[in-house]
Amino acid sequence: MVEIGIKGRLEETVTPEMSAARVGSGLVDVFATPMMIALVEKTCNESVLPYLDEGQGTVGTLVNVAHTAATPIGMRVWCESELVEVDRRRLVFKVKAFDECGPIGEGTHERFIIDTAKFIEKVRTKS
């Protein structure tokens, strides 16, 4: 059962492929904002997976995160999440991102619980 208070934490090392210059979000070789957002989404998703019913998953629907500090390639980064609101299938997380020198971002992220098979079938109808 998904309940308020579930926490998550994921860590990774910034590689050249994760840089703003490489992903097209900027011109410099620092941890790209889209990659920080991906880390936020992955952290939140993985934090609640053990609490979902079989056949369920989550999809991200809203990200409101400030990227407040640059991180060089080769440095460790991590995201910490906490589930702060549950409204039926809607999940709201408070998120914070860090590198080895301190905070690099924070905000909120929203996900919805889905029936994975039904979701995939609905998407297929667009093809």
Catalytic residue list: 33, 41, 67
With a CB cutoff of 8 Å and minimum separation 6, the contacts of 11 are 76, 77, 78
Question: In the beta sheet, which residues pair with residue 93?
Answer: 83, 109
Residues 30 and 23: their CA atoms lie apart, in Å, by 11
Residues 51 and 54: their CA atoms lie apart, in Å, by 9
